[in-house]
Amino acid sequence: MARASKVTLEDPRGRSGVLARAPRTPQPSRDRFGRFTEWIARAMGTPTFLLILSLFCVAWITWNTMAPDSVRFDDAALGFTALTLMLSLQASYAAPLILLAQNRQDDRDRVQIEQDRQRAERNLADTEYLAREVVALRMALTDMTEQVMTRDVLRQELRALLEQLDEREPREDPGAS
């Protein structure tokens, strides 16, 4: 006999709205393209990339000027049109990828700034609380010191009064009668 379980607000819910009984399968990252753009942007900003691109262009130009006419594929007389198109294509894709990576970094910076601001507000509130507590402790310590001093003064005055009373009236010895 199957027992029907009662759903309460304390129970965790899955994505479909029903209780999550089985473990979820890992979902692929939705941000894979963003990480790819950042990888491209980082790679394009390195000396290695510039060196490889320069060597590629030198090899292209050398091949199309030194090789026999039958194996050349980009004519130097036309200003290396195919090389120009290749570099333009590379630049047309590089610029948006770099902008995407920069936008992601801006978003991360914005989140970090907001977290820093919240942390600073908490630190300020904590500091103000601690300052109030220190002032309260100082006031309590001052009051306690004043009370101790007042007690000492009262004790001294009571002793002085007792001594005066002792001097005025001699005590009778209870066993002398």
Confidence of residue 135 (pLDDT cuts 50, 70, 90): very high
pLDDT tens track for 36-65: 888 888 888 899 999 999 999 999 999 999
pLDDT tens track for 62-111: 999 999 988 999 988 888 999 999 999 999 988 898 888 899 899 999 99
Phi, psi of 55 (to 5 degrees): -65, -40
**Helix or strand or coil: residue 32?**
helix
Sign of CA dihedral 108, 111, 114, 119: negative
For residue 63, the tally of other CB atoms under 10 A from its CB is 13
pTM of the model: 0.48
Contacts for 7 with CB less than 8 Å, ≥ 6 apart:
19
The percentage of the chain sitting over the pLDDT mark of 90, rounded to a whole number, equals 39
Contact indicator for 40, 101 with CB cutoff of 8 Å: yes
